[in-house]
Structure 1
Amino acid sequence: MKNETNRPPIAVILAAGIGSRLSPLTDNCPKSLLTVGGSVILERMIRNCLSCGMSQFVLVLGHMEDEIKQFVDKTFRDIHVTYVINERYRDTNTGYSLMLAASAIGTAEFVKFDADVVFDVKILRKLLDDDHADVLCIDQNIALEDEEVKVITDDQMQVIEIGKTVDPKLALGESIGIEKISAKTGKLLFAELNGMMKVREHFQDYYEAAYARLVDKGSVFRAIDITGLNWTEIDTVKDFTAANAMFETSITTVSRGQKKAIDEAAEKQTITM
């Protein structure tokens, strides 16, 4: 993994939304603090990052920001967290939230997460291990409809089109909401978002709209296929139920070295048996 010898990327987590489609579960609880498989969604995400050597976090908050801050500060005492507040979370979307994180990220490489995605740490490891600078994760085993962010690639997995309006018949799969962004592309991305958000009609745009604009201007994004690895986005009560069926156990922070030792021990036991 190239980031084991270099500075690990910053984890940027977008957690400003209300989660109204999850009502009544979110009536008194932010979506990212719901419990799935014995662990809070945000806790599982942060522990996955820690397992991959990532220890710097930028959290973009809005709805019930104090509750999320209190949870993170109490649960994780030894990580570096910068909180960015989207005061306009009620009338903006993920594009606006990501734009606000620009100054906190600076010129660093980062991995962007949607706070409502529950995922196996293997996905993050695969993303960080990829040698390409700007990479998004896609799942091909998804029934593509209007709601999904669809991705078209060429035969080298370079992204040609991305967005919800992409023709599902031409798409390779769905973008799951986890991307690695280089320092070079980050500068272009935030400039694009800043320009977009000067026009009120773009307030409700998703950050993928900026990705699509950069692709049209020649920026190179690669897709990696994570089909078969567990992940799910939680938008509805049905999604929440499915997530609890998929992730049945709570999470602990396990480093790569510890995971390797566990796997080797399990392999030796299998051979012995």
Structure 2
Amino acid sequence: MKNEINRPPMAVILAAGIGSRLSPLTDNCPKSLLIVGSSVIIERMIRNCLSCGISQFILVLGHRADEIKKFVDKSFRGIRVTYVINERYRDTNTGYSLMLAASAIGGSEFIKFDADVVFDVKILHQLVDDDQPNVLCIDRNIALEDEEVKVITDDQMQVLEVGKSVDSKLALGESIGIEKIGAKTGPLLFAELAEMMEHTAHLQDYYEAAYARLVKKGIIFHALDITGLNWSEIDTAQDFETANALFRSPVTTMSRAQQKVIDDVAAKADALT
């Protein structure tokens, strides 16, 4: 693994939202504490991070923050977790939440997760191992509509445009809500977010708007194609059903060597069928 500071990046998990589109599932439960495949969503995310050697976490919380904090503290004693509270979660969005994590992140490389994304740990393995400092995970096998965050790249996978308003006909795929941000780019990103959030009109902006502004200023982002690996963003009841169909088993924490043994056995079994 190569990265700018020669150590595993931090994990920054944005979990401040209400999840109103999942009602009634979220009427009495934060979205990140819903159960998919016998594992709580945020538990699966943290265990995937631990399997990749990531052991330092920043959680940005808002809605039902105490419940999420209690679950994480009880389930993961001994790991380093910093909690950042977005008191304005009702009238802001992910751009504002990410901005609030700036001081906790400092000058470190980090991987940013939307707390409602359930994903195969292989996606994270590939992202951590990627030599590029700024990387967006994208899936090409998605029907791109207005809701999706679309990404246009050149033939070297360098990002040319990113955002929901990007022309779907020109886009390579959808950004899945998991990105790596290099140590040199982080301060530039947070400065961009701070400037944006000075204006009321930007309080509801997603963090991708800041990525798009940096791209226009010449900051290089690359896309990592994770097409074919399982993941699901959970916004609606249908998304929740899809995630449970994709992820039927509870998550476990295992080393990469253990994972390789399992993958090799599965590959041999496939070759015999």
Coarse TM-score class (shorter-chain normalised):
over 0.9
- Matched with 1:105 is 105
| Match status 1:8 vs 2:28 | no
AA aligned to 1:151 is V
AA aligned to 1:49 is C
- Matched with 1:46 is 46
Unaligned runs of 5+ residues in structure 1 are none
Runs of 4+ in 1 over 6 A off after TM superposition: 267-273
Structure 1 distance, partners of 2:269, 2:213, is 52
- Equivalent residue of 2:60, what SS? strand
Residue pairs, 1:67-78, within 5 angstroms = 67-78=67-78
Structure 2 distance, partners of 1:183, 1:272, is 45
Q: CA deviation at 1:186?
A: 0.4
Unaligned runs of 5+ residues in structure 2 are none
- Matched with 1:252 is 252
TM-score with structure 2 length normalisation? 0.96
- Matched with 1:63 is 63
Q: Structure 1 residues 270 and 111 mapped into 2: Cα distance closer, same or farther (>3 Å)?
A: closer
Q: CA deviation at 1:262?
A: 3.4
- Equivalent residue of 1:261, what SS? helix
- Matched with 2:145 is 145
- Matched with 2:127 is 127
Q: For residues 147-166 of structure 1, what are the alpha-carbon distances to aligned partners after superposition, in whole Å with 9 as ceiling and x for unaligned?
A: 00000000110000000000
When the two structures are aligned, how many residues end up with a matched partner? 272
| Match status 1:89 vs 2:89 | yes
Q: For residues 232-270 of structure 1, what are the alpha-carbon distances to aligned partners after superposition, in whole Å with 9 as ceiling and x for unaligned?
A: 100000100111011111000011122223345566788
Q: CA deviation at 1:78?
A: 1.7
TM-score with structure 1 length normalisation? 0.96
Q: Structure 1 residues 242 and 131 mapped into 2: Cα distance closer, same or farther (>3 Å)?
A: same
Aligned CA-pair RMSD: 1.7
AA aligned to 2:198 is K
Q: For residues 36-81 of structure 1, what are the alpha-carbon distances to aligned partners after superposition, in whole Å with 9 as ceiling and x for unaligned?
A: 0110000000000000000000000000000000000000002100
Structure 2 distance, partners of 1:151, 1:269, is 36
- Matched with 1:168 is 168
Residue pairs, 1:155-234, within 5 angstroms = 155-234=155-234
Residue pairs, 1:256-271, within 5 angstroms = 256-264=256-264
Structure 1 distance, partners of 2:258, 2:7, is 20
- Equivalent residue of 1:235, what SS? coil
- Equivalent residue of 2:124, what SS? helix
Structure 2 distance, partners of 1:271, 1:139, is 26
AA aligned to 1:188 is L
User: Identity of paired residues, percent?
Assistant: 77
- Equivalent residue of 1:81, what SS? strand
Structure 2 distance, partners of 1:156, 1:100, is 33
